[in-house]
Amino acid sequence: MIRTITREPDGRISLDDYARICGFWQGRGSPPPRNVLPTLGVLGDDMACGFLYLDATGSGVAVMAWTATDPTASAIARGHAMLDVIEFLENEAAALNYHTVMCTHCHASFIRLFTRRGYASGDSGLVQLFKSLPAPDPLRL
């Protein structure tokens, strides 16, 4: 069962849902910072999650990100839940007239899963890099 991520009044993911997905990264790396998660996010059976960044420049490309599963769930159950998440986000992108969905992943099981869904590999050894930018100086605007 797919459900959308619960949001706080400020638009960020709820603390409860954020705590849940942070557990998905246990032993797998760092969870995403709460303030960078896009509005369109879903949980599949509360054991898989994914988010979709929607490009507003007209490129027609959406980016699926932060896909993860609960490591305490059975491999089969979390695989089915992740497939549901991917399919839901792909359908949402298509309904919004996006023609391409891209994603990055470093875990072999996820790469196999996305490849079976028709995703083609571009680069290998990809690393995600982030930098928090300071708030703009209102005097410079």
pLDDT at 28: 82
Q: Please give the C-alpha separations between residue 134 and each of 4, 137, 138, in angstroms, as whole numbers.
A: 30, 9, 12
Kindly report the CATH number assigned to the domain that includes residue 18.
3.40.630.30
What letter represents residue 43's amino acid? L
| Structural domain count of the chain | 1
Three-state DSSP class for residue 84: helix
In this structure, are residues 3 and 43 in contact, taking their beta carbons and an 8 Å threshold?
A: yes
CA distances (Å), origin 51, targets 64, 104, 136, 140 = 6, 12, 27, 34
Give the pLDDT of residue 36.
92
Q: At what angle do helices 108-116 and 75-95 cross, to 10 degrees?
A: 50
**d(Cα 74, Cα 55) in Å, to the nearest integer?**
34
* Interatomic CA distance for residues 20 and 127, integer angstroms: 24
What is the span of the domain harbouring residue 91?
2-140
- Would you tell me how many other CB atoms lie within 10 Å of the CB of residue 11? 10
The pTM is what? 0.86
Q: What is the three-class DSSP state of 47?
A: coil
Q: Residues of the chain whose pLDDT is less than 70?
A: 126-130, 132, 139-141
Extract the tokens encoding 27.
């032993």
Q: Ramachandran region of residue 39, left (φ > 0), alpha (ψ -120 to 50) or beta?
A: alpha
pLDDT value, residue 1? 93
What pLDDT sits at residue 140? 62
Rounded to a whole number of angstroms, the CA Rg of the chain reads 16
